[in-house]
Amino acid sequence: QVQLVQSGGGSVQAGGSLRLSCAASGYTDRRYYMGWFRQVSGKEREGVAAISPGGITIHYADSVKGRFIISRDNSENTLYLQMNSLKPEDTAVYYCARASTNGYINRVFDPTQFNVWGQGTQVTVSS
């Protein structure tokens, strides 16, 4: 069974840092784009960061560029999101996700391009 299990997150004051992890299991093919999304209640899920299968190509939403770092360890089948200089507007439920198909995808922040999702973890940033 393909599964993504998230850990990390929590509450922090503005300017602080948090790290999210996403452990994948149930498959051995590492040729999938992976991404982080976030969602605020009542709003659409938005892409935050995405990383190519080999970790060479990385994408960030403008809102997090320069503050968040996405990385992956294919030997451990784990995805990470290091979040620095957090702002109250970063408050959301964060999800990791695996792309529906292996190889290249052209809309890395389109949730419909991803079909395996983590359980979600709350990140709360207070001012």
- Entry field: residues in the chain: 127
Residue-level pLDDT at 28: 79
pLDDT for 36: 98
Phi and psi at residue 88, in whole multiples of 5°? -55, -30
CB 13 within 8 A of CB 67: no
Task: Specify the DSSP class assigned to residue 103.
Answer: S
Tens-digit pLDDT profile for residues 11-66? 999 999 999 999 999 887 889 999 999 999 999 999 999 999 999 999 999 999 99
Which tokens sit at 92?
């959301």
Convert the pLDDT of each residue in 57-91 to its tens digit: 999 999 999 999 999 999 999 999 999 999 999 99
Q: Is 29 exposed, middle or buried (0-12, 13-18, 19+ CB in 10 A)?
A: exposed
Contacts of 38 (CB under 8 A, 6+ apart): 45, 46, 48, 90, 92, 93, 94, 95, 123
